[in-house]
Structure 1
């Protein structure tokens, strides 16, 4: 039996759909509340696959609640660990470490105890290493530099990877994927789905920085191929392309019929923005929208390589523009 954590998030929901479309017959997913399960159900409905949704065995559990995981792990052979907290609010530091590091430790401990055959962990490009002076492209081998300023989210994902490697040293077969910004349909109020929602409302700013993007379909397809292979003890960067924030925002705006961004958010403007955001959060007790580190990352132009996964699986990624076109079509069909 296969267990999927985070089955009510973007990657987990698409993974459940992909597994069932590829004839997975025994599938269990954990959830924390029934309202979240409805989001996954809507994804299956939009794909005309409601009959497949009924094949999922849902178990109420939390990665931080050991007794609930005891039930979820009964008779499990393979685990896809997709559950994570994504936040760039400095106030969420403790919760990030708890969910992403302690939660992953719980998952790998159960995998070891229950003699699970293989674990696939969904990490992030945020957990990759830092370029030194003589390096120009980040790869799986680029070393993490603890002296470099990292976001709390990045630190938590790096810490979670350490738990996975610990499990591997104890004999568990593991594979780690490090996706870039994941683009996919069905979750318009979280993650990359917010790009589409905010741009539709009107998002006037862009920066000259860049990052790496990938389709959720490519992410889940690669995860399944790696789990079905002999691959063990490896990590793979899973990205299609490096693109500037401006390119992506303009492309989304064009595809959904929104106004293109027109204001270049320079370092000076971003420094003002994060300070004002800090002040507003203190006065009105609201969540931070942009931190100091977040503003700096929007100007980052580090390039990230995907050669390892392409060569290992002989894989061809969907282009980012084609992915944006597909997701934009779903956005217009289901939100307007």
Structure 2
């Protein structure tokens, strides 16, 4: 039995679709108690309700499990409470490790993030870069700590880590940050954008990459899964051209963007909604380095499709599933 945590999330549901297409059977999808299961509708999987922050709930979910793919985590662009991020990303991962040991699983794959790593001194971020220090932003700090827990456990348990970059694509039922941005660009042919960009990768390619890491990855190793850096304004233009046949993108000057990010974060907290812009977002978009994921390509045969294809497919999916999700989460 293969257990997938975070199964109802964007990457989780796409991973399960990929595994089923590849002939996997006996998949157990772990979801939070009461969580919306729409992303898993029609998929031939066993459903287990459990919360990774409540270790007493895990033994039942782990019954008969031989391999684990741990995706469940809390993603934050600088807006979530630090104690909640710590509880989910670090203590939750610790609980998964202990449950895996107790169940004597054969392999534990942890899905981390490129944000678990420190900012590189050179132009490239790869697996040789040290993990982020504990003085980093809360999300970076917790993903770094969780990655360290998994790697340290490799002496007792067969563990391996995959660290994707910015994931987006179809089947985005819960409306991720990128998915929300794409929907906004689809609604009108003009927008105001921040400077900078990011390394994005298709969620379907990451799903395949996770399978490759599970099947072929070396014990105690980390594999970055990325694609290419793209300017956010360019992605917006592509989506608008596909949807409207025209595009007008105005870039915000960097000095204004810094002030706007602080105001946007404050306003989102005041209104009790998730922000689309924070100082952490801007810092990430302006990072000068690029991702080197050649290790996954060389060792595992990991391949990716053009980001332009991902954007096109994502627009088509939203056109067919506009009401999916019901709001950002």
Q: Would the TM-score normalized by the shorter structure come out above 0.5?
A: yes
1:190-232 per-position Cα deviation (integer Å, ceiling 9, x unaligned):
2432222222234622233121111111111111122122621
Determine the C-alpha separation between the residues in 1 that align with 2:180 and 2:307. 17
Q: Spell out the pairing of 1:69-88 with structure 2 (5 A cutoff).
A: 69-88=58-77
2:11 paired with 1:22: no
Determine the C-alpha separation between the residues in 2 that align with 1:232 and 1:283. 45
**Cα pair 1:199 1:258 within 8 Å, conserved:** no
2:260 paired with 1:280: no
1:317 counterpart (304, 310, 314): 304
Question: Gapped runs of 5+ residues in structure 2?
Answer: 324-329
Determine the C-alpha separation between the residues in 2 that align with 1:115 and 1:101. 21
Determine the C-alpha separation between the residues in 1 that align with 2:5 and 2:48. 10
The root-mean-square deviation of aligned C-alpha atoms, in Å, is 2.2
2:236 paired with 1:236: no
Q: How much has 1:177 moved relative to structure 2?
A: 1.0
**Cα pair 1:207 1:299 within 8 Å, conserved:** no
**Cα pair 2:198 2:284 within 8 Å, conserved:** no
2:162 paired with 1:177: yes
Instruction: Tell me the residue number matched to 2:47.
Output: 58
Determine the C-alpha separation between the residues in 1 that align with 2:33 and 2:183. 24
Determine the C-alpha separation between the residues in 2 that align with 1:175 and 1:59. 23
Determine the C-alpha separation between the residues in 2 that align with 1:152 and 1:258. 41
2:204 paired with 1:190: no
Segment drifting more, 84-93 vs 217-226: 84-93
**Cα pair 1:209 1:301 within 8 Å, conserved:** no
1:128 counterpart (89, 109, 117): 117
Does the residue aligned with 1:176 lie in a helix, a strand or coil? strand
2:99 paired with 1:110: yes
1:326 counterpart (310, 313, 318): 313
Determine the C-alpha separation between the residues in 1 that align with 2:256 and 2:223. 35
1:177-197 per-position Cα deviation (integer Å, ceiling 9, x unaligned):
111111221225224322222
1:279-335 per-position Cα deviation (integer Å, ceiling 9, x unaligned):
424654554443322222222232111111111123321111111112221111221
Instruction: Tell me the residue number matched to 2:326.
Output: none
Distance 1:33 1:317, change over 3 A: same
TM-score by length of 1: 0.88
Segment drifting more, 248-257 vs 216-225: 248-257
Distance 1:87 1:282, change over 3 A: closer
**Cα pair 1:89 1:287 within 8 Å, conserved:** no
Question: Gapped runs of 5+ residues in structure 1?
Answer: 42-49
Q: Spell out the pairing of 1:292-303 with structure 2 (5 A cutoff).
A: 292-303=279-290
Distance 1:26 1:299, change over 3 A: same
Q: How much has 1:277 moved relative to structure 2?
A: 2.2
**Cα pair 1:242 1:303 within 8 Å, conserved:** yes
Instruction: Tell me the residue number matched to 1:44.
Output: none
